[in-house]
């Protein structure tokens, strides 16, 4: 198991966030709190890191992995088109636990989209997650820090019990404030399709 660092969930320490961001930039895996469950973060466009992430979670490569971005405007860099109604949803619910599934740009790794050419994106309302992706200055994954099919983790002890090794750094921000996952909405179809019922 990698290093565990306590982080203030209300006022994350800059040096701790930078340390975690450096791990991600170098291709490592970092567990961090979000507004829902703890997530596992790697550089969204690093093929080797993504492969390690899938293997660590024992996740089938046929299941795509969602990402978090720093701010709403970042969505335009990784998506093909954004419906007007989706713009309204972003304005209403971001930052927050709403993952929107868009058509991905051609340069997005197929391993991230599982060949669907679609990518799930959200802006996290959690200060640790938000500061982390801002420090990395690139989209990062936010898949739950669990073995696929197992319970979603709300605290660091659950992560430690799930993974003996493979995570380079864990940011301990205390217990999650919510006990549901983000709502996932596919905005590439009309009408929009709910893929996962969640907080919203």
Specify the pLDDT at position 177.
Answer: 79
Q: What are phi and psi of 144, to 5 degrees?
A: -55, 145
Q: What are phi and psi of 20, to 5 degrees?
A: -65, -40
For residue 95, which of 10, 179, 34 has the smallest C-alpha distance? 34
Instruction: Spell out a b/e string for 108-127, using b for 16 or more CB atoms within 10 Å of the CB, else e.
Output: beebbbbeebbbbbbbbbbb
For residue 43, which of 101, 108, 98, 96 has the smallest C-alpha distance? 108
Rounded to two decimals, what is the model's pTM? 0.95
- Angle between helix axes 127-136 and 14-25 (nearest 10 degrees) is 50
Rounded-to-integer distance, Cα 10 and Cα 57, Å: 29
Rounded-to-integer distance, Cα 48 and Cα 50, Å: 5
Hey, what are 17's tokens?
């966030």
Going by their DSSP bridges, the two strands 3-6 and 30-32 should be labelled as: unpaired
Contact between 173 and 10 (Cβ < 8 Å): no
Specify the pLDDT at position 1.
Answer: 64
| 3 state SS of 63 | coil
Specify the pLDDT at position 164.
Answer: 75
10-residue averages of pLDDT along the chain (200 residues)? 91 98 98 96 97 96 96 96 96 97 95 95 97 98 94 93 91 89 96 95
């Amino acid at each position: 198991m990698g290093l565990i660092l306590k982080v203030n969930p209300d006022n994350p320490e800059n040096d701790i966030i930078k340390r975690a961001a450096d791990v991600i930039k170098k291709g490592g895996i970092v567990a961090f709190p979000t507004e829902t469950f703890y997530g596992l973060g790697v550089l969204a466009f690093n093929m080797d890191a993504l492969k390690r992430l899938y293997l660590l979670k024992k996740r089938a490569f046929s299941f795509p992995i969602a990402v978090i971005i720093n701010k709403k405007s970042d969505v335009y860099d990784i998506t093909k088109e954004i419906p007007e109604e989706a713009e309204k949803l972003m304005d209403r619910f971001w930052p927050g636990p709403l993952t929107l599934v868009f058509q991905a740009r051609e340069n997005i790794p197929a391993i991230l989209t599982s060949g669907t050419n679609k990518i799930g994106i959200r802006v996290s309302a959690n200060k640790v997650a938000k500061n982390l992706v801002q420090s990395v200055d690139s989209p990062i994954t936010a898949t739950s820090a669990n073995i696929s099919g197992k319970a979603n983790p709300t605290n660091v002890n659950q992560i430690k019990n799930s993974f003996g090794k493979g995570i380079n750094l864990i940011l301990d921000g205390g217990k999650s404030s919510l006990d549901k996952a983000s709502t996932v909405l596919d905005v590439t179809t009309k009408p929009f399709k709910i893929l996962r019922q969640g907080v919203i």
